[in-house]
Protein backbone atom coordinates (compact mmCIF):
# COMPACT_ATOMS: atom_id res chain seq x y z
CA UNK A 1 0.00 0.00 0.00
CA UNK A 2 1.39 3.38 -0.98
CA UNK A 3 2.16 5.97 1.66
CA UNK A 4 -0.50 8.60 2.37
CA UNK A 5 -0.07 11.88 0.53
CA UNK A 6 1.20 14.92 2.35
CA UNK A 7 -1.70 16.99 3.66
CA UNK A 8 -2.33 20.31 1.92
CA UNK A 9 -0.84 23.49 3.29
CA UNK A 10 -2.73 24.78 6.31
CA UNK A 11 -5.16 27.67 6.20
CA UNK A 12 -3.99 30.76 8.02
CA UNK A 13 -4.99 31.60 11.58
CA UNK A 14 -2.85 34.71 12.19
CA UNK A 15 -2.52 35.25 15.95
CA UNK A 16 -5.74 33.32 16.68
CA UNK A 17 -5.95 32.48 20.38
CA UNK A 18 -6.35 28.70 20.56
CA UNK A 19 -6.77 26.29 23.47
CA UNK A 20 -6.36 22.52 23.09
CA UNK A 21 -7.15 20.14 25.94
CA UNK A 22 -4.95 17.07 26.20
CA UNK A 23 -2.24 18.58 24.04
CA UNK A 24 0.90 16.89 25.33
CA UNK A 25 1.12 13.98 22.87
CA UNK A 26 -0.46 12.03 20.01
CA UNK A 27 -3.36 13.86 18.33
CA UNK A 28 -3.23 16.68 20.88
CA UNK A 29 0.36 17.45 19.98
CA UNK A 30 -0.41 17.22 16.26
CA UNK A 31 -3.29 19.67 16.72
CA UNK A 32 -1.09 22.13 18.61
CA UNK A 33 1.65 22.00 15.98
CA UNK A 34 -0.80 22.35 13.09
CA UNK A 35 -2.37 25.39 14.72
CA UNK A 36 1.07 26.91 15.31
CA UNK A 37 2.08 26.37 11.69
CA UNK A 38 -1.08 28.24 10.70
CA UNK A 39 0.11 31.24 12.71
CA UNK A 40 -1.98 30.80 15.86
CA UNK A 41 -1.07 31.34 19.48
CA UNK A 42 -1.49 27.99 21.22
CA UNK A 43 -2.26 27.01 24.79
CA UNK A 44 -2.75 23.42 25.84
CA UNK A 45 -3.60 21.43 28.93
CA UNK A 46 -2.27 18.13 30.19
CA UNK A 47 -2.65 16.13 33.38
CA UNK A 48 0.28 13.82 34.12
CA UNK A 49 2.86 13.51 31.35
CA UNK A 50 5.08 16.48 32.11
CA UNK A 51 7.97 15.30 29.93
CA UNK A 52 5.63 14.95 26.94
CA UNK A 53 4.13 18.37 27.66
CA UNK A 54 7.56 19.98 27.73
CA UNK A 55 8.42 18.28 24.45
CA UNK A 56 5.29 19.74 22.89
CA UNK A 57 6.06 23.17 24.33
CA UNK A 58 9.59 23.03 22.90
CA UNK A 59 8.27 21.99 19.48
CA UNK A 60 5.83 24.91 19.50
CA UNK A 61 8.54 27.38 20.48
CA UNK A 62 10.79 26.10 17.69
CA UNK A 63 7.98 27.12 15.33
CA UNK A 64 8.03 30.60 16.83
CA UNK A 65 4.70 30.04 18.54
CA UNK A 66 3.65 31.88 21.67
CA UNK A 67 2.81 28.79 23.74
CA UNK A 68 1.18 28.51 27.16
CA UNK A 69 0.91 25.23 29.09
CA UNK A 70 -1.43 24.31 31.95
CA UNK A 71 -1.38 21.19 34.11
CA UNK A 72 -4.61 19.86 35.61
CA UNK A 73 -7.59 17.58 35.13
CA UNK A 74 -10.21 18.48 32.52
CA UNK A 75 -12.81 17.16 34.97
CA UNK A 76 -11.96 19.97 37.43
CA UNK A 77 -14.22 22.97 36.87
CA UNK A 78 -11.93 25.29 38.85
CA UNK A 79 -9.01 24.27 36.62
CA UNK A 80 -11.04 25.02 33.49
CA UNK A 81 -12.05 28.46 34.78
CA UNK A 82 -8.48 29.28 35.82
CA UNK A 83 -7.01 28.28 32.45
CA UNK A 84 -9.48 30.47 30.58
CA UNK A 85 -9.07 33.37 33.02
CA UNK A 86 -5.29 33.23 32.56
CA UNK A 87 -5.67 33.27 28.77
CA UNK A 88 -8.10 36.18 28.89
CA UNK A 89 -5.63 38.09 31.07
CA UNK A 90 -2.69 37.28 28.78
CA UNK A 91 -4.32 37.33 25.36
CA UNK A 92 -7.59 39.17 25.84
CA UNK A 93 -9.77 36.19 24.95
CA UNK A 94 -10.05 32.74 23.41
CA UNK A 95 -10.99 32.36 19.76
CA UNK A 96 -10.79 28.57 19.39
CA UNK A 97 -11.32 25.71 21.83
CA UNK A 98 -10.53 22.15 20.75
CA UNK A 99 -11.81 19.59 23.25
CA UNK A 100 -9.37 16.78 22.56
CA UNK A 101 -8.58 15.25 25.98
CA UNK A 102 -9.99 11.74 26.24
CA UNK A 103 -9.37 8.34 27.75
CA UNK A 104 -9.75 5.01 25.97
CA UNK A 105 -9.92 1.78 27.94
CA UNK A 106 -10.21 -1.19 25.55
CA UNK A 107 -12.30 -3.38 27.83
CA UNK A 108 -15.36 -5.51 27.00
CA UNK A 109 -18.46 -4.55 28.93
CA UNK A 110 -18.27 -7.58 31.22
CA UNK A 111 -14.83 -6.43 32.40
CA UNK A 112 -15.67 -2.73 32.63
CA UNK A 113 -15.88 -1.70 36.26
CA UNK A 114 -18.05 1.20 37.37
CA UNK A 115 -14.93 3.30 37.97
CA UNK A 116 -13.83 2.67 34.36
CA UNK A 117 -17.25 3.76 33.09
CA UNK A 118 -17.35 6.84 35.31
CA UNK A 119 -13.82 7.91 34.41
CA UNK A 120 -14.51 7.56 30.68
CA UNK A 121 -17.71 9.61 30.81
CA UNK A 122 -16.14 12.21 33.11
CA UNK A 123 -13.10 12.89 30.92
CA UNK A 124 -14.76 12.46 27.52
CA UNK A 125 -18.04 14.32 28.20
CA UNK A 126 -17.80 16.33 31.42
CA UNK A 127 -14.39 17.70 30.41
CA UNK A 128 -15.65 19.21 27.14
CA UNK A 129 -18.67 20.63 28.97
CA UNK A 130 -16.50 22.32 31.61
CA UNK A 131 -14.04 23.82 29.13
CA UNK A 132 -16.79 24.86 26.73
CA UNK A 133 -18.65 26.56 29.57
CA UNK A 134 -15.50 28.39 30.65
CA UNK A 135 -14.68 29.55 27.11
CA UNK A 136 -18.20 30.65 26.28
CA UNK A 137 -18.05 33.75 28.49
CA UNK A 138 -15.22 35.45 26.56
CA UNK A 139 -16.60 34.15 23.26
CA UNK A 140 -20.02 35.61 24.01
CA UNK A 141 -18.45 38.96 24.88
CA UNK A 142 -16.55 38.90 21.58
CA UNK A 143 -19.56 37.78 19.56
CA UNK A 144 -17.46 35.07 17.91
CA UNK A 145 -15.74 31.80 18.64
CA UNK A 146 -15.14 28.23 17.56
CA UNK A 147 -15.51 25.04 19.58
CA UNK A 148 -14.38 21.77 18.03
CA UNK A 149 -15.05 18.50 19.84
CA UNK A 150 -12.95 15.48 18.93
CA UNK A 151 -15.31 12.49 18.80
CA UNK A 152 -14.85 9.09 17.12
CA UNK A 153 -16.01 7.84 13.73
CA UNK A 154 -17.07 4.35 14.83
CA UNK A 155 -19.82 5.56 17.17
CA UNK A 156 -22.45 5.27 14.43
CA UNK A 157 -20.57 3.19 11.88
CA UNK A 158 -19.46 -0.41 11.52
CA UNK A 159 -16.18 -0.46 13.41
CA UNK A 160 -16.13 -1.91 16.93
CA UNK A 161 -15.45 0.28 20.00
CA UNK A 162 -15.52 -0.33 23.76
CA UNK A 163 -19.05 0.44 24.94
CA UNK A 164 -18.05 3.08 27.51
CA UNK A 165 -15.92 4.93 24.96
CA UNK A 166 -18.66 4.73 22.31
CA UNK A 167 -21.26 6.00 24.78
CA UNK A 168 -19.06 8.94 25.76
CA UNK A 169 -18.34 9.96 22.19
CA UNK A 170 -21.99 9.54 21.21
CA UNK A 171 -22.90 11.91 24.03
CA UNK A 172 -20.24 14.36 22.86
CA UNK A 173 -21.72 14.39 19.36
CA UNK A 174 -25.19 15.06 20.80
CA UNK A 175 -23.75 17.83 22.98
CA UNK A 176 -22.13 19.37 19.89
CA UNK A 177 -25.45 19.60 18.08
CA UNK A 178 -27.33 21.02 21.07
CA UNK A 179 -24.66 23.59 21.93
CA UNK A 180 -24.39 24.73 18.32
CA UNK A 181 -28.10 25.54 18.34
CA UNK A 182 -27.81 27.33 21.67
CA UNK A 183 -24.92 29.66 20.81
CA UNK A 184 -25.06 30.04 17.03
CA UNK A 185 -27.10 33.25 17.30
CA UNK A 186 -24.12 34.80 19.12
CA UNK A 187 -21.63 34.10 16.34
CA UNK A 188 -20.17 30.95 17.93
CA UNK A 189 -19.84 27.79 15.87
CA UNK A 190 -19.61 24.31 17.39
CA UNK A 191 -18.65 21.21 15.42
CA UNK A 192 -17.39 17.69 16.03
CA UNK A 193 -14.64 15.86 14.18
CA UNK A 194 -14.73 12.06 14.29
CA UNK A 195 -11.37 10.62 13.22
CA UNK A 196 -10.89 7.13 11.95
CA UNK A 197 -8.17 4.81 13.16
CA UNK A 198 -4.68 6.26 12.79
CA UNK A 199 -1.26 4.68 12.70
CA UNK A 200 -0.28 6.51 15.86
CA UNK A 201 -1.99 7.17 19.16
CA UNK A 202 -4.93 4.92 19.99
CA UNK A 203 -4.42 2.93 16.81
CA UNK A 204 -0.90 1.96 17.85
CA UNK A 205 -2.30 0.31 20.99
CA UNK A 206 -4.51 -2.10 19.08
CA UNK A 207 -3.50 -5.60 18.02
CA UNK A 208 -2.32 -5.78 14.42
CA UNK A 209 -5.25 -8.07 13.57
CA UNK A 210 -7.68 -5.27 14.53
CA UNK A 211 -5.69 -2.76 12.51
CA UNK A 212 -5.77 -5.08 9.50
CA UNK A 213 -9.54 -5.47 9.91
CA UNK A 214 -9.85 -1.71 9.66
CA UNK A 215 -7.72 -1.59 6.52
CA UNK A 216 -10.04 -4.14 4.90
CA UNK A 217 -13.13 -2.13 5.87
CA UNK A 218 -12.13 1.33 4.67
CA UNK A 219 -12.34 2.44 1.06
CA UNK A 220 -8.80 3.82 1.01
CA UNK A 221 -7.34 0.60 2.44
CA UNK A 222 -5.13 2.25 5.06
CA UNK A 223 -5.08 3.90 8.44
CA UNK A 224 -4.91 7.65 8.74
CA UNK A 225 -2.19 9.83 10.20
CA UNK A 226 -2.44 12.29 13.06
CA UNK A 227 -1.17 14.99 10.71
CA UNK A 228 -4.09 14.43 8.33
CA UNK A 229 -6.59 14.72 11.18
CA UNK A 230 -4.91 17.81 12.60
CA UNK A 231 -4.72 19.55 9.21
CA UNK A 232 -8.45 19.09 8.69
CA UNK A 233 -9.19 20.24 12.24
CA UNK A 234 -7.33 23.48 11.54
CA UNK A 235 -9.44 24.04 8.46
CA UNK A 236 -12.61 23.45 10.48
CA UNK A 237 -11.73 26.25 12.92
CA UNK A 238 -10.25 28.57 10.30
CA UNK A 239 -11.87 31.62 8.67
CA UNK A 240 -12.19 29.52 5.51
CA UNK A 241 -14.97 27.47 7.13
CA UNK A 242 -17.78 29.99 7.40
CA UNK A 243 -21.12 28.12 7.30
CA UNK A 244 -20.74 24.90 9.26
CA UNK A 245 -22.10 24.45 12.76
CA UNK A 246 -23.63 21.52 14.61
CA UNK A 247 -21.94 19.11 12.22
CA UNK A 248 -20.12 15.86 12.94
CA UNK A 249 -17.51 15.16 10.28
CA UNK A 250 -16.29 11.59 9.84
CA UNK A 251 -12.69 11.60 8.64
CA UNK A 252 -12.07 7.89 8.39
CA UNK A 253 -10.84 6.89 4.94
CA UNK A 254 -14.27 5.72 3.82
CA UNK A 255 -15.49 3.44 6.57
Mean pLDDT per 10-residue section of the chain, whose length is 255 residues: 57 88 97 97 97 98 96 98 98 98 89 94 98 98 97 67 90 97 98 89 70 84 93 96 96 87
- Give me the pLDDT at residue 96, please: 98
- Give me the pLDDT at residue 126, please: 98
The domains of the chain, with CATH numbers, are 17-250 (3.40.50.720)
- Give me the pLDDT at residue 69, please: 98
Pairing state of beta strands 145-150 and 96-99? parallel
Pairing state of beta strands 41-46 and 145-150? unpaired
- Give me the pLDDT at residue 215, please: 85
- Give me the pLDDT at residue 16, please: 95
- Give me the pLDDT at residue 208, please: 77
- d(Cα 56, Cα 44) in Å, to the nearest integer? 9
| Nearest of 129, 240, 131, 138 to residue 188 by alpha carbon | 138
CA 116 and chain centroid, separation: 21
- Give me the pLDDT at residue 6, please: 60
In the chain, alpha helices (H): 26-37, 50-62, 77-91, 114-121, 127-142, 163-183, 208-217, 226-236
Amino acid sequence: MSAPPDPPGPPRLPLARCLVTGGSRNLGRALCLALARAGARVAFTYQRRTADAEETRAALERLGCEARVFQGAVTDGDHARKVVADLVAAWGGVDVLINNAAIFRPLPTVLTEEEDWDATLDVNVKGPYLFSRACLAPMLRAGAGQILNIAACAVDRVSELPVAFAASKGALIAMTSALAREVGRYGIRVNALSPGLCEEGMGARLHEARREDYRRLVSLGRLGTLQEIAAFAVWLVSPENTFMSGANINLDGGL
